[in-house]
Every structure is written in structure tokens, then in C-alpha cells.
């Protein structure tokens, strides 16, 4: 399993999908799973603009992992909290996967603001984006530390520039960690 991290607007979903397509691997996005869920509790939570509880996330992600047993997985959007990272590590044997690599797509605050304000959404103003970036770093730094402490390689890739160059940088990491076979 390769887990992608990066702030909103970093391009982790695009890069994860490109990697999955390149090798025929399974791309799993918890956000997409939640949006496609027929569970009324999940839909009510999303409609209210709230985060899905860890318990609901574990259930939905567990079902997705069960459905793709024995495939290489690209995971996007999970974990978002240290306790979720602990769940991921603790459940490797249960769902028959190994967290082989974490790829963090690094993008400057200025570039994120530029990308997201260009979308023109009401909630994509600079102050809101800066708040989201702070939350991202506050939550992700302990996750990355925990995964690293559990012998999961964590690599950083420059996320600014054209998609093809970023993808090739990601491929260099995948190859260096012998995951491209």
C-alpha cells in the first residue's frame, strides 16, 4: 500500500490515480467512498458539512480493503488522525496489506492559495485556505511521525510544476522502494 498525503489542492488524488492506472493498482479515496455511500448516516454527516467519525471511516474503509484483497493499493484521504494511522498499522494483517510507502506532496502555502482561489468557490478565500492548511499540518505531522516510527518510509515530493514532472518524481520513489514490480 502506498499512502498519499498533501494539503487540499496539492494534486494527491490526480497523482494517485495516475499511479494506479499506470500499474493497474487499486486507488481508494475515502472521500469518494463517502460521497458514493448509500449509508444514510454517512450522507447526513456529509450534508451537514461535518467529518465522518473514525468508527464510520473504519467500517467503510475496511469494506473497501476487503473488496480489493491481494492488490496493490493507493490510499488517498486516510489517515487524517493519529488514531486512524494506528488503526491502519494494526489492521495490516487483517486486510492482507502492508503500508509500504508514504508519499507526501509538498506545495507552498502561496501556491495552494493560488490554486484554490482560482476555483472560485465561496469557501476558497485566502483566510479559509490558510486555516485549512494549519489544520492539515497540525494533524498530519503526528501521523507522519507515527508511521515513520513504525518503519514506514515517508518521502516528500515537490508538488509544484507540471503533472508529468511530479509524476516522474513519484515514480522515482516508487522504484527506489522496489514497488514498481
Element (H, E) at 155: strand 154-158
DSSP 135: H
**What percent of the chain has pLDDT above 90?**
67
Residue 98: band (very low, low, confident or very high) from pLDDT cuts 50, 70, 90: very high
Average pLDDT, the chain: 92
For residue 102, the SS3 value is strand
Instruction: Give the model confidence (pLDDT) of 36-45 as tens digits.
Output: 888 888 888 8
| Claim: this prediction has a pTM higher than 0.85 | yes
pLDDT of residue 49: 73
Instruction: For residues 66-94, give the mean pLDDT.
Output: 94
Tell me: the pLDDT tens digits for 106-129?
Answer: 999 999 999 988 887 776 788 888
Nine-digit cell string for 117: 482561489
User: What confidence tier does 52 reach under pLDDT thresholds 50, 70, 90?
Assistant: confident
Which residues of the chain form beta strands (DSSP E)? 2-5, 26-29, 73-76, 101-106, 154-158
Mean pLDDT of 76-83: 94
| pLDDT tens string 15-38 | 999 999 999 999 999 988 888 888
Q: Hey, what's the cell of 124?
A: 476558497
Closest CA to 2 of 98, 122, 118: 98
Residue range 149-167: mean pLDDT, rounded: 97
The full set of domains in the chain, from first to last, is: 2-176 (3.40.50.300)
Amino acid at each position: 500500500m502506498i499512502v498519499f498525503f498533501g494539503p487540499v489542492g496539492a494534486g494527491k488524488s490526480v497523482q494517485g490515480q495516475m499511479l494506479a492506472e499506470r500499474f493497474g493498482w487499486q486507488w481508494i479515496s475515502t472521500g469518494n467512498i463517502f460521497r458514493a455511500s448509500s449509508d444514510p448516516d454517512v450522507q447526513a454527516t456529509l450534508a451537514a458539512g461535518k467529518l465522518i467519525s473514525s468508527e464510520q471511516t473504519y467500517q467503510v474503509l475496511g469494506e473497501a480493503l476487503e473488496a480489493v484483497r491481494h492488490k496493490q493499493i493507493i490510499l488517498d484521504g486516510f489517515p487524517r488522525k493519529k488514531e486512524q494511522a494506528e488503526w491502519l498499522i494494526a489492521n495490516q494483517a487483517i486486510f492482507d496489506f502492508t503500508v509500504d510507502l508514504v508519499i507526501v506532496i509538498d506545495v507552498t502555502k502561496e501556491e495552494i492559495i493560488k490554486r484554490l482561489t482560482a476555483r472560485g468557490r465561496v469557501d476558497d478565500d485566502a483566510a479559509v485556505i490558510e486555516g485549512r492548511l494549519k489544520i492539515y499540518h497540525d494533524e498530519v505531522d503526528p501521523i507522519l511521525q507515527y508511521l515513520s516510527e513504525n518503519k514506514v518510509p515517508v518521502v516528500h515530493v515537490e508538488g509544484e510544476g507540471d503533472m508529468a514532472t511530479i509524476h516522474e518524481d513519484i515514480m522515482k520513489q516508487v522504484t527506489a522502494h522496489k514497488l514498481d514490480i
